Amino acid sequence: MRRPVARKLSVLAVSAVVVSVGAAAPPSAAGTVPGKVPVAVGYGGAVASVDADASAAGIEVLRKGGNAVDAAVATAAALGVTEPYSSGIGGGGYFVYYDAKSRTVHTIDGRETAPLTAGPDLFTENGKPLAFADAVSSGLSVGTPGTPATWQTALDAWGSRKLGTVLRPAERIARDGFTVDDTFRAQTAANETRFRSFPDTAKLFLPNGQLPVVGSTFKNPDLARTYAELARKGVGAVYRGDLGKDIVSTVDNPPVDPGSGWKARPGKLSAKDLAAYRAGLQAPTKTSYRGLKVYSIAPSSSGGTTVGEALNILENTDLSKAGEVQYLHHFIEASRIAFADRGRWVGDPAFEDVPTRQLLAQKYADSRACLIQDDAVLTSPVAPGDPRHPAACGTGGTAAATTYEGENTTHLTVADKWGDVVSYTLTIEQTGGSAMTVPGRGFLLNNELTDFSFTPANPAVHDPNLPGPGKRPRSSISPTIVLDRHDRPVVALGSPGGATIITTVLQTLTGFLDRRLSLADAIAAPRASQRNAARTELEPALYDSQTRAKLEAIGHSFSLNPEIGAATGVQRLGNGEWLAAAEKVRRGGGSAMVVDPAP
């Protein structure tokens, strides 16, 4: 979202394929401030993120011989500086990696966990659920951070550089600063009241008591020192050291301004929770679609199962020949059904019996697809099916509500010259997370535990997403990598956006694979999001179009959402050439870069 203080960017015209491409040079002491470039084509590797500083950090690592995993961690660390309200070492995420040598896909579950003392009543008082706002800005909402463990796990398994090496660009950006833009100021303003309740947060993000000025340089020396400490001591500083002690103290004794009037409820995090945390290496989800292999993250995230099920539902519909109205109709209905099953069946598999394999079975998708009619709309909430016992057009039980998830996560996508690919989504939940900055450490803590159901949606039906000791809350994060029949990358992508992540990834994939849009155009296309609700959300370009009226004639109902998601992706073009793509407008536009631009 922010533009770098000092970067050089070469912009070249590319005929037919894209409007322009760009590649970042390594950071220099002086240079012009570039605009963001949403598409880049070239060789040596590619990075796409929402921020030019962060993309440049990844490119710097690739230029120096690092691989996609090294560059992904470098990019993520830089986003922790320039996207502090969406990501950082106080949060978590999901990491999907393609190994070109073995042509295999691997994943890391770096989701935050509830304290070991947490029970299903974590967010209730006097038998009633807390108000959401009361839960967010409190210690109760903070889960054990998973991001540092994710970085180290990825580097240990597949990286070629040490953590300290890949943290250097982010440490430099934190120390020297980045240029404040409209988006950063607007996000700060939206959180100003919350931030003023916590003196350490106000001191960092409201310098001299004021909103940051657009065009000014924002520095975070505390975070620079924290990254330097991680470089020296490793992530053990978080999970077994002084940095972890500071996190626990902040969660259990929220540093709230007594004069603010805010009741910041204490959390229950302990040193034992940090020491017990592990980022889990696990198998990806896998779905076949149009002869391609679609890989994503398995539970605790619902992203892989829900996108996968929706793709399977759409498998027998020729979306390439459908008109826009029929395409969107089937996309919306497939999303509606997949979310019905998500709510009933998906939770943390360490605690819940999640039928992942059955949810992704084509037989089950076919049993659900027959609910869709060309000239009628399903009534939400649609009841879930039973993936263990598929019945044609069968539904049963009570639909579960879709829990709220904060929308200001961030996503990055990376490829290297060897053909390795990373699709990585990381988050601290909603914009500004819990609003609590760890004193002297320069980063915000997450509010991920509010992704749990506070109470069961229906007391008569088991809710797989209630809190539990050490449990991971359900997520919608959907980092995705698509391979061809020879197990070579076709495209990799992902998005922020809370529960709209799933529909954003699904719509971008079908736009690219079925509608034959370029990756940049598939990312930029106006979006719809249906999550088993009475109304489907539409961005303005669709809401104000004739398409909306034609869909309403079938029976759809809509509400306006100004902005849905903020995707990035990379596409393999062959012979070592990559295309990186990011948003053109959403969240201030994204930044796509390659090591060596194509002529």
CA separation for the pair 412, 495 (Å, rounded): 8
- Residue from 59, 85, 94 nearest 74 by CA: 59
**Distances in Å between the alpha carbon of 545 and those of 47, 326, 548?**
34, 15, 6
409 catalytic? Reply is yes
DSSP 273: H
CA separation for the pair 477, 495 (Å, rounded): 8
- Residue from 288, 289, 291, 285 nearest 303 by CA: 285
Task: Tally Cβ neighbours within 10 Å of residue 552.
Answer: 12
Strands (E), 163-246: 178-179, 217-218
Whether 409 contacts 477, CB under 8 Å: yes
**Distances in Å between the alpha carbon of 131 and those of 125, 141, 395, 450, 454?**
10, 12, 32, 11, 10
The two tokens of residue 358 are: 């059955």
- Helix (H) or strand (E) holding 521, with range, is helix 519-524
Half-sphere exposure of 453 (CA within 13 A, CB side): 20
Whether 146 contacts 427, CB under 8 Å: no
Kindly give the pairing relationship between strand 536-538 and strand 558-560: parallel
Tokens 């050291």 — which residue?
A: 241
The two tokens of residue 177 are: 């600063």
CA separation for the pair 473, 450 (Å, rounded): 8
- Residue from 269, 270, 265 nearest 137 by CA: 265
432: left (phi over 0), alpha (psi -120 to 50) or beta: left
Burial label, 494 (beta-carbon count in 10 A; 0-12, 13-18, 19+): buried
322-342 in b/e form (b: 16+ CB < 10 A) is beebbbbbbbbbbbbbbbbbb
Helices (H), 303-396: 303-314, 324-345, 356-359, 362-369
Cα angle: 510, vertex 511, 514; to 5 degrees? 60
Position 143, amino acid: G
Cβ within 8 Å of residue 242, ≥6 positions away:
none
- Residue from 449, 446, 453 nearest 409 by CA: 446
Strands (E), 386-502: 410-416, 421-427, 480-483, 489-494
**From the candidates 144, 287, 409, 480, which is the catalytic residue?**
409
Cite the active site residues: 409
